[in-house]
Amino acid sequence: MRKALADFLVQAATEDEKIIFLTADLGFQVFDEFKSSFPQRYYNVGIAEAAMVGIAAGLSYSGFKPIIYSIASFLDSRAFEQFRFFCGYNNMKIVAIGAGGGLTYSMSGPTHHALDDIGLALLIPNLLVFSPAGPRELTQTLYKSIEESGSSYIQIGKFGEKDVYFSDNLEKNNTVMGIISTGVVSGYISENLQEYEFANKVSHLHVNQIHPLDEEVLVNFLNSHSKIILVEEQIPSSGIYNPILRLINEKKLGVEIERLGPRAEFIHKNRSLDSNREFYNYNWSEIQLRITNFLNQNKKI
Amino acid sequence: MLAPEIKIRALRASVLTALIGYRNGSAHMSSSLSCVEALTAAFDFKRMFPKTEIILSKGHASAAQYAAMSQTGFLEANQLINFGKEESNFSIHLSQNKYIPLSTGSLGHGLSFGVGIGISNLINKLNYKTIVLIGDGESNEGSVWEAASIAGRLHLNDLILLVDYNQVQAAGTYQEISGNQNLTSKFQSFGWIVKKISAHDPASIYSELQINESEPKVIILDSQENPSLEFMQNSVEWHYRNPTEAEIVKMINTLNAKQFALDILELFKCEKL
């Protein structure tokens, strides 16, 4: 996904002389082409996330279209008040990219785990919040964010993420169980679902835009299933779980939701991404087990 | 621009600030009166050079900024009649308008915003000045130094930082809270040019704003010596309280500004002080 971001930056800066890129000293060699092509519009501000948001706001006020970059575990947590102050209260337009979403940097430990960045972004009024699954979707999201009048926070992965179709099996009317997911974990689910023997019994909706939600699509999906498994790589108070529960309550929907994902605790052991997904019971084996159990109980196989 | 004219406008802005505090309350009196003359000089400068951006980072001095703007032609003084009142656009922390690029209130944000404007001018090869005013206590915030470091590294020579060195913070004196910090050597080490001027000498502040520098410049405004404000000097209490009638009268008499005060009172539809 970082390659898609780097390619987008070069393309967008070629098309629009107001595009300017700031990084808080991250992305070694990733943005070299942009840096050499547009040296006046590339600023490494140093390890200074708070100042980066303020500087971007000043550039935005002056007519530039700033895109800022750090890793997801640092960007909006380190500079939360700056996001609230500049992007929220003062309505300055910034596109913020948090790389290494969820447990992408699993082995680097809790300081590098981004399990609350989405929730923090959701607290800022007027901030659009995205969590694309793969590079193609990221590029579309970036173009959309540039066009929007307000600021955006986009959580991305690192490299090798897979795009998913907007949804898997939605066209099939006979699906009884639904999976909703967001972010890089969506590609993981989609990839495994395609190999799954009962795939035609399960539909999968990937949610890229977390705020504001596409309520029509979600209500339709939620109404079409009696049971939903929701998978996210955020702690429960941070991701799409609460926004979707709110939607269910507001629309008085009768669907049952089971959430899978990290618990609200720090991981003190050194573990790979796969091990952590297994530890927190949201690896594919666990998801598959829950689907199979549900289908067996409902005798729909 | 003539020095006497600047001084008169700054003096009137001071009296207006005090009257706003007296009549409307909630105006952060000492924090406003320590920088009102510098703000008047800055808006006088903007009057001559309209592309200048002025960012009051210490947003709790909004009464000073509004008073300075009213005396330099950026707003009508009668608009301030509702300062701090219900539904007013003139709030006790500064709010955006045509000449105010940034609403402020929480501290530590103005300088990074000014750096962003400075970078924009650098890219566009424009020599417009960007003036940011912070408090000395505000310099406790780490984001100030992140921004100061970047401004120094990028040689943003059209960026001017005014530090209101009134030596009073929210819960104690600057020395009590911040210790014996040497702001001069701190800014110099970040690559800034450092000047010190009396906060109550608006003509000299104006002259300093006119100088083109090779590096970003900080002007430390010493607001300690002010005969008209002797009663609130070095007082933490004055961060919160408003002047009494006797104090206002004393200030107006010391500044020899009775007629101006009467005009303002008439404008504000006050029958008496």
Could you check whether the bond before residue B50 is cis, i.e. omega within 30 degrees of 0?
A: no
Per the CB < 8 Å rule, is B119 touching A58? Answer: yes
Contact present, A198 and A295 (Cβ < 8 Å): yes
| Range in A80-84, B71-75, B221-225 with the lowest mean pLDDT | B221-225
Pairwise CA distance, residues B136 & B159, whole Å: 18
What's the pLDDT at A169? 56
Sequence-separated (6 or more) residues with CB below 8 Å from residue A294: A176, A177, A227
* Interface probe with B: pick from A55, A81, A83, most Cβ of B within 10 Å: A55
Nearest CA in chain B to A46: B150
Sheet strands side by side (includes B193-198):
B53-56, B130-135, B159-165, B217-222, B193-198
Residue of chain B minimizing CA distance to A92 = B102
Domain boundaries, chain B: 3-267
Which carries the bigger pLDDT value, residue B230 or residue B20? B20
CB contact under 8 A, A55 and B113: yes
Rounded average pLDDT over A138-159? 97
Instruction: Give the contacts of A194 (CB within 8 A, at least 6 positions apart).
Output: A168
Q: What is the mean pLDDT of residues B261-271?
A: 82
DSSP state for residue B35 in the 8-state scheme: T
Task: Give the phi and the psi of residue B106 in degrees, each rounded to 5.
Answer: -80, 145
A90–B115: do the CB atoms touch at under 8 Å? no
Under an 8 A CB cutoff, do A48 and B150 touch? yes
- Asked if residue A174 has pLDDT above 60, the reply is no
Q: For A87-134, how does the pLDDT look when each residue is reduced to its tens digit (9 = 90+)?
A: 999 999 999 999 999 999 999 999 999 999 999 999 999 899 999 999
Q: What is the pLDDT of residue A170?
A: 60
Q: Is the ipTM of this complex over 0.90?
A: yes
Burial degree of B94 (CB within 10 A; 0-12, 13-18, 19+): buried
Residue B237, pLDDT above cutoff 90: no
Q: Which residues of B touch A62 (CB under 8 A)?
A: 116-117, 120-121
Query: In the predicted model, is pLDDT for residue A239 greater than 90?
Result: yes
Pairing label, strands A209-211, A128-130: antiparallel
How buried is residue A70: exposed, middle or buried, by Cβ count under 10 Å (0-12/13-18/19+)?
A: buried
CATH (one of 1.10.8.350, 2.40.240.20, 3.40.50.2300, 3.40.50.970) for A2-155? 3.40.50.970
Distance of CA B147 to the CA centre of its chain: 19
Nearest by CB to residue B103, choosing from A66, A82, A90, is A90
Partners of A59 on chain B (C-beta within 8 Å) are: 116-117, 119-120
- pLDDT tens-digit readout, A250-260: 999 999 999 99
A-chain residues within 8 Å CB-CB of B52?
none
Mean pLDDT of the B251-270 span:
86
- Within chain A, all domains assigned CATH 3.40.50.970 are found at 2-155
pLDDT score of A300 more than 60: no
Mean pLDDT of B46-57: 98
pLDDT value of position B25: 82
Residues 6 or more apart in contact with residue B107 via CB below 8 angstroms:
B57, B58, B134, B135, B137, B138, B141
Q: What percentage of residues in chain A have a pLDDT greater than 90?
A: 84
pLDDT at B272: 64
Q: Identify the pLDDT of residue A168.
A: 58
Contact call for B150 and A56, based on CB within 8 A: no
Nearest chain A alpha carbon to B51: A62
Nearest residue in B to A19, CA atom: B120
pLDDT digits (tens, 9 = 90+) for B132-181: 999 999 999 999 999 999 999 999 999 999 999 988 888 888 888 888 88
Q: How many CB pairs lie under 8 A apart between chains A and B?
A: 86
Residues 6+ apart with CB under 8 A from A19: A9, A12, A13, A41, A64, A65, A67, A146
Task: Looking at the structure, give the CATH architecture of the domain made up of residues A167-297.
Answer: 3-Layer(aba) Sandwich (3.40)
Residue B102 in this model has a pLDDT that exceeds 90: yes
Homologous superfamily in CATH for domain B3-267: Thiamin diphosphate (ThDP)-binding fold, Pyr/PP domains (3.40.50.970)
The CA distance from B203 to B1, in Å, is: 9
* B103 vs A contacts (CB less than 8 Å): 89-90
Name which residue leads in pLDDT, A14 or B252. Answer: A14
Distance in Å, alpha carbon of B103 to nearest chain A alpha carbon? 6
Q: Which helix (H) or strand (E) holds B4?
A: helix B3-24
Interface of B to A at Cβ within 8 Å reads 96, 101-103, 106, 108-109, 111-121, 123, 142-143, 146-147, 149-150, 153
Between the alpha carbon of residue A107 and those of residues A74, A78, A111, B53, B180, the distances in Å are 16, 21, 10, 46, 44
Q: What is the 3-state secondary structure (H, E, C) of A238-258?
A: CCCHHHHHHHHHHHCCCCEEE
Q: What is the DSSP letter of B227?
A: G
pLDDT, greater one: B84 or B130 = B130
pLDDT digits (tens, 9 = 90+) for A35-58: 999 999 999 999 999 999 999 999
Q: Report pLDDT for A298.
A: 81
Contacts of B179 (CB under 8 A, 6+ apart): none
pLDDT of residue B23 exceeding 90: no
- The number of helices, as runs of H, and strands, as runs of E, in chain B is 11, 5
**Nearest 5°: CA angle at B72, between B135 and B240?**
35
> Is A171's pLDDT higher than 60?
no
CATH 3.40.50.920 domain span(s) along chain A: 167-297
Q: What is the mean pLDDT of chain B?
A: 92
| Neighbour order of strands in the sheet with A42-44 | A42-44, A19-23, A65-71, A95-99, A152-155, A128-130, A209-211
A275-297 residue pLDDT tens: 999 999 999 999 999 999 988 88
DSSP B155-217: T-TTEEEEEEE--B-SSSBHHHHH-S--HHHHHHHTT-EEEEEETT-HHHHHHHHH---SS-E
